[in-house]
Structure formats: structure tokens, C-alpha cells
């Protein structure tokens, strides 16, 4: 009986060793995103690095746009011949739509895809900034365009969270969201500096909005060329065509 048991153990030992210490080839063939469930996503580590850069740059638009505007307030008050309270209303309006935008476009990106909604909101953002750069003296139009600008800029964070949820299991999401959150905070820090330099170098607000048009256009091209569709409802783990 002892001899039979020893033979059985000797036979099982190689298999047990292979499970405990998988070969290098087997390890490399596993999904690099997660070893818990290799079918969760087909995206590789290099794909995730690219996504991290795109999403980080995309999310910078909302805080950058909010804070780059602050040095413009005295110039806008003079340009539009309105009170300080009236100009401050444009700040309030931006914050209101900053809260509304993710509620609208987050679910839309779940239903219709991350990529088309991201492109739509960036297009909205670019158009809003073009209008703001062209508007010289119409205060009512300024209010409307600030709302459009905020709607376009503020959807990026919700969409980026959706992309991260699509391509990373919960235990891996912090690694993706950390750099994205860093970009978000960086935009809030850089905005007032850039806004002040650009505005007071030209002594008007126009070039600040044109600079945001350039930023939005570059991001639009980047998302259009480099961001794959990730919404699980449309492409599953990324292996299905959109």
C-alpha cells in the first residue's frame, strides 16, 4: 500500500510542480493585465500605457479650462462692460455644467461607446472655444458658450473611468487611475499660469481661447487615431469588432 501511494505521489509531482511554478513561456502567454481572469481583456501592457497617456491628456481639459479662465476676469469685465458679479456668473455656470456633463455623457459612453462619445465631447469643446474666441461683446452668448465649453471639457473624466473599468479588473485599476488623477491635478495648477501669461502678453482674452482650441484639436486627433473602442457592451473583452 505504501509503495502504491509513493508511485501515485511520484506521478502527480511533476504536474503539481508545473502548476506552482509555471514556465516562463506560460507566464508570458498570460494576460499581462490580470492573472486572475485572463479573459477579462485582450489589451496588453503596451496598450494600457498608451491608454494611460491618452486618458491623462484628455482629463486635463476640464481643470485646465476652469483655471486658465481665472486671470481673464478683469479683461472680460472690461471687454463686455458688465459688473464683477455678472462675470463671476460665468464661473458658476461652468461649475454647474461641470457637474452635469459626466451624468449625461458617462451613461451615453456605456451605451454607444467610449470612442464616439469622447470624440463628440471634444468636438463640442473645440466649437465652444472657437465661439468664445470669436465673441467680442455679447454677454448672453458668453454665458451659452461657457456652458458648451464646460459640457465638452468635463465629460472626459467620466469616460476615462469607464475605459479603465473596461480594460482593468478592480485590483488593477488604481495603477491606471493614479497617473490620470495626477494629470487632472496638474491641469488645475498649470491653468492660471498659462492663462495669465497668454492673456497679459496680448492684453486680451482671445488668444487664451485659441490656445484651448489648439489643445482640443490635438486631443481630438489623438483620440481619433489612437483610442480603440473598449466598451464591454460593444466589444466584450476587446477582441470583438466594434
Going residue by residue through the chain (242 aa), what tens digit of pLDDT does each one get? Answer: 444 444 444 444 444 333 333 333 443 443 444 344 457 777 788 888 889 999 999 999 999 999 999 999 999 999 999 999 999 999 999 999 999 999 999 999 999 999 999 999 999 999 999 999 999 889 999 999 999 999 999 999 899 999 998 888 888 888 888 888 888 888 889 999 999 998 888 888 899 999 999 999 999 999 999 999 988 888 776 655 55
pLDDT at residue 233, rounded to an integer: 84
**Residue in 178, 177, 182, 174 with CA at minimum distance from that of residue 160:** 177
pLDDT at residue 147, rounded to an integer: 96
Residue 238 backbone zone (phi > 0: left; psi -120 to 50: alpha; other: beta): left
Is residue 230 classed as helix, strand or coil in its secondary structure?
coil
Q: How many CB atoms lie within 10 A of CB 237?
A: 18
Contact 61, 125 (CB under 8 A): yes
Residue 155 has which C-alpha cell?
465629460
Residue 236 backbone zone (phi > 0: left; psi -120 to 50: alpha; other: beta): left
pLDDT at residue 48, rounded to an integer: 84
pLDDT at residue 46, rounded to an integer: 84
Burial class (CB in 10 A: 0-12, 13-18, 19+), 118: buried
pTM of the predicted model as reported, rounded to 2 decimal places: 0.79
Domains of the chain, start order: 44-235 (1.20.1250.20)
Q: Residue written as cell 502567454?
A: 29
Burial class (CB in 10 A: 0-12, 13-18, 19+), 32: middle
pLDDT at residue 237, rounded to an integer: 67
pLDDT at residue 219, rounded to an integer: 95
Residue spans of beta strands (DSSP E) within 130-223: none
**Residue in 17, 11, 44 with CA at minimum distance from that of residue 28:** 44
CA pair distance 123, 170, nearest whole angstrom = 31
Query: Tens digits of per-residue pLDDT, 46-100?
Result: 888 889 999 999 999 999 999 999 999 999 999 999 999 999 999 999 999 999 9
DSSP 33-67: S-SS-TTS----HHHHHHHHHHHHHHHTHHHHHHH
DSSP 95-142: HHHHHHHHHHHHHHHHHH-HHHHHHHHHHHHHHHHHHHHH-SS-HHHH
pLDDT at residue 239, rounded to an integer: 56
Amino acid at each position: 500500500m505504501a509503495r502504491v501511494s509513493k508511485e501515485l505521489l511520484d506521478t502527480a509531482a511533476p504536474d503539481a510542480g508545473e502548476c506552482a511554478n509555471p514556465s516562463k513561456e506560460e507566464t508570458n502567454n498570460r494576460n499581462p493585465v490580470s492573472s486572475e481572469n485572463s479573459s477579462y481583456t485582450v489589451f496588453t501592457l503596451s496598450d494600457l500605457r498608451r491608454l494611460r497617456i491618452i486618458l491623462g491628456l484628455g482629463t486635463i481639459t476640464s481643470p485646465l479650462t476652469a483655471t486658465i479662465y481665472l486671470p481673464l476676469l478683469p479683461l472680460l469685465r472690461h471687454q463686455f462692460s458688465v459688473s464683477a458679479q455678472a462675470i463671476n456668473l460665468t464661473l458658476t455656470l461652468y461649475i454647474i455644467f461641470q457637474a452635469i456633463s459626466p451624468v449625461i455623457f458617462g451613461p451615453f459612453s456605456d451605451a454607444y461607446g467610449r470612442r464616439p462619445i469622447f470624440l463628440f465631447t471634444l468636438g463640442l469643446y473645440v466649437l465652444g472655444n472657437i465661439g468664445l474666441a470669436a465673441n467680442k461683446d455679447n454677454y448672453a452668448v458668453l454665458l451659452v458658450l461657457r456652458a458648451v465649453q464646460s459640457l465638452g471639457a468635463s465629460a472626459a473624466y467620466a469616460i476615462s473611468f469607464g475605459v479603465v473599468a473596461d480594460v482593468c479588473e478592480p485590483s488593477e485599476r488604481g495603477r491606471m487611475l493614479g497617473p490620470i488623477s495626477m494629470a487632472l491635478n496638474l491641469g488645475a495648477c498649470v491653468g492660471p499660469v498659462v492663462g495669465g501669461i497668454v492673456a497679459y502678453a496680448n492684453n486680451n482674452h482671445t488668444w487664451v481661447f485659441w490656445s484651448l482650441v489648439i489643445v482640443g484639436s490635438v486631443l481630438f486627433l489623438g483620440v481619433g487615431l489612437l483610442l480603440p473602442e473598449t466598451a464591454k457592451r460593444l466589444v466584450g473583452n476587446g477582441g470583438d469588432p466594434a
